[in-house]
Amino acid sequence: MNLFSDIRAVLTATIDSLAEAGTLPGGLDLGNVTVEPPRDPSHGDIATNAALVLSKQAKMKPREIADAIAGAITADAAIESADVAGPGFINLRLSADLMRAQVSGVLSAGDTFGDANIGAGRKVNVEYVSANPTGPMHVGHCRGSVFGDALANLLVKTGHDVTREYYINDAGGQIGVLARSAFLRYREALGEDIGEIPEGLYPGDYLVPLGKDLAARHGDTLLAMSEDEWLPIVKTASIDAMMAMIKDDLAALNIHHEVFFSERDLGEPEQQGSKLAEAFDLLESKGLLYTGVLEPPKGKTPDDWEPRPQLLFKATEFGDDVDRPMKKSDGSHTYFAADIAYHLDKYRRGFGEMIDVWGADHAGYIKRMQAAVKALSDGGGSLDVKICQMVKLYRGGEPVKMSKRAGEFVTLRDVVDEVGRDVVRFIMLTRKNDAPLDFDFKAVMEQSKDNPVFYVQYAHARICSVLRLAADDFPDADLSDAALAGVDLASLEDEAELALIKQMAAFPRLVEQAAVAHEPHRIAFYLQELAAGFHALWNKGKDDARLRFIHTDQPGVTMARLALIRAVAITLAAGLHVLGVTPVEEMR
């Protein structure tokens, strides 16, 4: 169910009937016609730009079209009134019966309320987290993890076929650093005094268990080997241990990926049949590679710029600012080349639509990767990159100190263990992904209206409490969703009740908009507004006893109000599930 889609259908039928009557031309393109809430709620329930959009096609003045539509559309029982404003906007007021029917619709839809099929089963790859497997995840990874997972949930809810993917950066120089750090802890586990951790190695205590595990499995045999012999062994063990730690940290946030793709599986450009070789061959066959010298960049010089001939990709032909190196002067491939091969593999796996969630330090990389995807797919594929800005941790306004276990940062697990998964997930979505976010341990645990996660959960818990009280007061009543969907709702007349219904009715449209924009934070914002609407109605009932939810001497009024608030609870739960947050039935 989607109120705005339903009214759009009424509008379309009205325009078609006007065309049949000869008032409007036939065959008008309604693609750019919008049906949305008016900017000023006092103007009505729904506004449409139909007359303005159709004016040029119909070769008529907008006001002339608007007057015709406004005069005809009220014939539908759903429309109470239609007014023309300004140059030709049409403001509609919906019938009270239609608005009340939204309550029954929500109760009938249950968990599926807000579901849509705008994705039509299209395959979408959402790659998120992809933290280097060199240690525990930090709070910066936490934000990208939650954002990516909520976005995946949102796309599933709107009918997309989503694959959640993690790219393991396990082929770079940092893996050698990890292995040497682990080998030091291995020597420590065998009883050697290793002293201070040398500069350039990872100092965190999280490598101590890995060192002990290596000692248990290999004894002192690795000590007799040269570095060339022990390094591959320790690399593999280290990557496995770090990925197990990362997966465990993600599981604490209830995040689970379907695909873990290893960078090592890309191979090398010189390795015939490897994914990297295929990417180079494809770009070569398209005439998109050449040897050249890049101009020195303005401002800060990037790591991949060298004042000598390099193999370059013609990124400028696809919207990038400059062409990009595929190989360094020593003949080794660049990180960019590996990323090209990886995204080519995604595309060949059937993902024409790709979404990558990156940290803020990768913002300058977006244009080149989008250019690469255009080139690889001949324009048939798309890549949307969502940047997650940093998270600053505070405790009562004071910056939080770093974690000894991690060595240099606060871990994701530290945060989850202290405040809980649901709090972390909700708070991480209370700002747009590309805006900085402050996370105060004290503030997020306060039970006040200033704490958004408490405010939303309290609304859901309050409703559950009312329903439990009603079950005691009306022991013979059927309070199931199916039964409440059939009660008479005519007694829902107060402006606060009708406003709450209007807020609920906006949820399906909001879900679709958030999915199209790839912005799950819109759901968190909406839930705060809906919770505020419910709390306002609750407080109104405290001041005016006639508006209280339960009246033991008026079962009909009680059932109508229980139906209303149960529908609110369903809507809150539906939104929380998109965020990956469990709705609570009691506040503790």
CA angle 18, 24, 28 (to 5 degrees): 100
- Rounded to a whole number of angstroms, the CA Rg of the chain reads 29
Length of the chain: 588
- Per-residue pLDDT, 155: 98
pLDDT for residue 116 is more than 80: yes
- Per-residue pLDDT, 303: 64
Q: How far is CA 494 from CA 56, 498, 543, 554, in A?
A: 42, 6, 14, 16
| Residue 260 · residue 164 · CB < 8 Å | no
Long-range contacts of 37-46 (CB under 8 A, 24+ apart): 37/506, 38/91, 43/83, 43/85, 43/91, 44/81, 44/83, 44/91, 44/92, 44/93, 45/92, 45/93, 45/94, 45/99, 45/502, 46/4, 46/7, 46/91, 46/92, 46/94
Q: Which amino acid is at 371?
A: A
- Per-residue pLDDT, 302: 62
Q: How far apart are CA 195 and CA 176, in angstroms?
A: 21
Average pLDDT for 289-306? 76
Long-range contacts of 184-190 (CB under 8 A, 24+ apart): 184/211, 185/210, 185/211, 185/212, 185/214, 186/210, 186/211, 186/214, 186/215, 186/218, 186/222, 186/234, 187/211, 187/223, 189/214, 189/215, 190/215, 190/220, 190/223
Nearest alpha carbon to residue 187 among 216, 225, 215: 215
Average pLDDT for 55-62? 95
Q: Which amino acid is at 347?
A: Y
Q: How far apart are CA 449 and CA 445, in angstroms?
A: 11
Query: Which region among 20-24, 94-98, 400-404, 547-551 has the lowest average model confidence (pLDDT)?
Result: 400-404
Neighbours of 19 (CB within 10 A): 15
* The dihedral sign for the CA sequence 423, 110, 491, 467: negative
Q: How far apart are CA 331 and CA 338, in angstroms?
A: 14
Beta strand 437-440 with 35-36 is unpaired
The share of the chain scoring above pLDDT 70, in percent, equals: 97
Q: How many helices (H) and strands (E) does the chain have?
A: 19, 15
| Residue 131 · residue 141 · CB < 8 Å | yes
pLDDT tens profile 153-178? 999 999 999 999 999 999 988 999 99
- Per-residue pLDDT, 139: 86
pLDDT tens profile 524-546? 999 999 999 999 999 999 999 99
Query: Which region among 249-253, 311-315, 472-476, 541-545 has the lowest average model confidence (pLDDT)?
Result: 541-545
Q: How far is CA 280 from CA 263, 304, 371, 377, in A?
A: 16, 18, 15, 14
Average pLDDT for 269-293? 95
Tell me what the pLDDT averaged over the chain comes to: 94
pTM for this prediction: 0.93
Q: How far apart are CA 462 and CA 74, in angstroms?
A: 39
- Per-residue pLDDT, 510: 97
Q: Would you state the torsion angle of the CA atoms of residues 359, 364, 368, 373, taken in this order, to the nearest 10 degrees?
A: 30
- Per-residue pLDDT, 1: 80
pLDDT tens profile 36-51? 999 888 899 999 999 9
pLDDT tens profile 367-423? 999 999 999 999 999 999 999 999 999 999 999 876 656 566 788 998 999 999 999
Q: Which amino acid is at 122?
A: R
SS (H, E, C) 519-588: CCHHHHHHHHHHHHHHHHHHHHHHHCHHHCCCCCCCHHHHHHHHHHHHHHHHHHHHHHHHHCCCCCCCCC
Q: How far apart are CA 413 and CA 471, in angstroms?
A: 40
Would you call 21 exposed, middle or buried from its count of C-beta atoms within 10 A (0-12, 13-18, 19+)?
Answer: exposed
Q: How far apart are CA 47 and CA 293, in angstroms?
A: 56
- Per-residue pLDDT, 408: 67
Q: How far apart are CA 306 and CA 385, in angstroms?
A: 27
pLDDT for residue 305 is more than 80: no
Band of pLDDT at residue 328, cut at 50, 70 and 90: confident
- Per-residue pLDDT, 65: 96
Average pLDDT for 202-223? 95
pLDDT tens profile 424-466? 999 999 999 999 999 999 999 999 989 999 999 999 999 999 9
- Per-residue pLDDT, 331: 85
Greater confidence (308 vs 245) lies with 245
- Per-residue pLDDT, 495: 92
- Per-residue pLDDT, 329: 78
Band of pLDDT at residue 499, cut at 50, 70 and 90: very high
Q: How far apart are CA 16 and CA 221, in angstroms?
A: 83
- Per-residue pLDDT, 46: 95
Beta strand 310-313 with 79-85 is unpaired
